[in-house]
Amino acid sequence: MYVNRATLSSRSTVFQSMFAASPDSAEFTINDAKYDELAAVLSVNEPTPIDPTEENVEGILRLAERFMLLDATRYMESFISRSGWDDKKKSELSKKFNLKNLLQRRD
């Protein structure tokens, strides 16, 4: 998958460090990530982000947390808030991923 280094670096200190450590590298391997989840988390800043699903929401949140992508976390909070999921599921996700904005809406 092709990404813009400058954009990712400006949104994530993790990516900034990764790219700075190997500035001449054209490829980077990201282990322990499913392609669809990685594509979804990276698409958050695109004009038409990939919609998460109930099946991949936790994976996307893990990647957003791992790469310190606050925009992706906020996007996921909004998605979860608007979803038709029951309050128990929303609460579990809020606590598991420390989704402060979603937790505040639940109170």
pLDDT in tens, 16-69: 999 999 999 989 999 999 999 999 999 998 889 998 988 999 999 999 999 999
Q: Residue 105: what pLDDT?
A: 62
Q: What is the DSSP string of 68-96?
A: T-HHHHHHHHHHHHHS---HHHHHHHHHH
Q: 5-104 — its CATH code? A: 3.30.710
Q: Residue 93: what pLDDT?
A: 92
Q: Residue 3: what pLDDT?
A: 85
CA-based nearest residue to 70, from 103, 105, 100: 100
Residues 1-14: tens digit of each pLDDT: 888 889 899 999 99
Q: Residue 18: what pLDDT?
A: 93
Q: Residue 106: what pLDDT?
A: 54
